[in-house]
Structure 1
Amino acid sequence: MKQIPVIQVGIQFKETIEFTLFGDFKDKLGVKLSGRYSATIFGKGFLLLKHEEGEEIILKSGLLFEPQSEDAYFTLHAVTIGINFHWERDEDQSFKGGLKLLLENDKITAINVLPVEDYLMSVISSEMSATSSLELLKAHAVISRSWLLAQIEKNHSLQSNTDAYKSVFETDDEFIKWYDREDHLNFDVCADDHCQRYQGITRATTEEVENAVRATWGEVLMSGEAICDARFSKCCGGMVEKFENVWEPVNHPYLQAFADNDVDPEGFNLDLKTEANAEKWMLGMPDAFCNTTDKEVLSQVLNDYDQETNDFYRWEVRYRQSEVSELVKKRTGIDFGTIQEMIPVERGDSGRLIKLKIVGDKKTLTIGKELEIRKALSESHLYSSAFIIEKEDVDGQLIFVLKGAGWGHGVGLCQIGAAVMGAKGYDYNAILMHYFRGAELKKKY
Structure 2
Amino acid sequence: MSNTEPTIHVGILTSATIEFVLNGEFITPGGKTYTGKQKASYKKAKIAFSGELVNEIILEPANENCSFDLINVVIGINFHWERKENQRFKGALKLIVDNEKLTAINHIGVENYLTSVISSEMSATASDELLKAHAVISRSWLLNPIVETHEVKTHGRASQPLIDIGHEPHNTKNDAVDVKTHGRASLPKNKYIKWYERDAHTRFDVCADDHCQRYQGITRASTAAVEKAIEATRGEVLMYEGQICDARFSKSCGGISEAFENCWAPVRHPYLTPVVDNGDAPTGFNLDLTDNLNAEHWIRNSPAAYCNTSDKKILAQVLNNYDQETTDFYRWKVEYSQAELSEMLFRRSGIDFGQIVDLIPVKRGESGRIIELQIVGTKETIVVGKELEIRKWLSNSHLYSSAFVVDTSDVVGDIPQRFTLTGAGWGHGVGLCQIGAAVMGENGFQYDDILLHYFRGAELKRIYS
Q: Give the TM-score of the pair, scaled to structure 1.
A: 0.95
1:436 alignment partner in structure 2: 455
Structure 2 counterpart SS, 1:382? coil
Structure 1 counterpart SS, 2:410? strand
Report the Cα offset of residue 97 of structure 1. 0.3
1:40 alignment partner in structure 2: 41
Mark the CA change 1:164 to 1:40 in structure 2 (over 3 Å): closer, same or farther.
Answer: closer
Give the number of equivalent residue pairs.
437
Alignment of 1:46-445 (within 5 A): 46-49=47-50, 56-61=51-56, 63-153=57-147, 159=156, 166-171=162-167, 172-393=189-410, 398-445=417-464
Report the Cα offset of residue 67 of structure 1. 0.4
CA RMSD of aligned residues (A): 1.9
Report the Cα offset of residue 153 of structure 1. 4.1
Letter aligned with residue 269 of structure 2: H
Mark the CA change 1:408 to 1:28 in structure 2 (over 3 Å): closer, same or farther.
Answer: same
CA contact (8 A) 2:282 2:303 kept: yes
Which piece of structure 1 moves more, 27-36 or 250-259? 27-36
Report the Cα offset of residue 157 of structure 1. 11
CA contact (8 A) 1:151 1:188 kept: no
Mark the CA change 1:157 to 1:125 in structure 2 (over 3 Å): closer, same or farther.
Answer: closer
1:15 alignment partner in structure 2: 16
Q: Give the TM-score of the pair, scaled to structure 2.
A: 0.91
Report the Cα offset of residue 344 of structure 1. 0.6
Report the Cα offset of residue 32 of structure 1. 2.4
Query: Whole-Å Cα distance in 2 between the matches of residues 319 and 78 of structure 1?
Result: 33
Report the Cα offset of residue 35 of structure 1. 1.7
CA contact (8 A) 1:167 1:177 kept: yes
Q: Which runs of 4+ in 1 moved over 3 A?
A: 153-161, 163-166, 394-397
* 1:26 and 2:35 correspond: no
Q: Which runs of 5+ in 1 are unaligned?
A: 50-55
Report the Cα offset of residue 58 of structure 1. 2.5
Report the Cα offset of residue 167 of structure 1. 2.8
Q: What percent identity do the matched residue pairs reach? A: 57
Query: Whole-Å Cα distance in 2 between the matches of residues 257 and 246 of structure 1?
Result: 12
Query: Whole-Å Cα distance in 1 between the matches of residues 69 and 430 of structure 2?
Result: 34
Query: Whole-Å Cα distance in 2 between the matches of residues 18 and 166 of structure 1?
Result: 34
Q: Which runs of 5+ in 2 are unaligned?
A: 168-188
Letter aligned with residue 424 of structure 1: N
Report the Cα offset of residue 16 of structure 1. 1.1
Q: What whole-Å deviation, never above 9, does each CA across 1:236-267 have from its counterpart, x for those lacking one? A: 00010000000111111100012111111100
Which piece of structure 1 moves more, 223-232 or 180-189? 180-189
Query: Whole-Å Cα distance in 2 between the matches of residues 196 and 165 of structure 1?
Result: 17
Report the Cα offset of residue 181 of structure 1. 2.2
1:52 alignment partner in structure 2: none
Letter aligned with residue 159 of structure 1: G
Mark the CA change 1:168 to 1:255 in structure 2 (over 3 Å): closer, same or farther.
Answer: same
Which piece of structure 1 moves more, 346-355 or 147-156? 147-156
Mark the CA change 1:219 to 1:274 in structure 2 (over 3 Å): closer, same or farther.
Answer: same
CA contact (8 A) 2:157 2:199 kept: no
CA contact (8 A) 2:162 2:194 kept: no
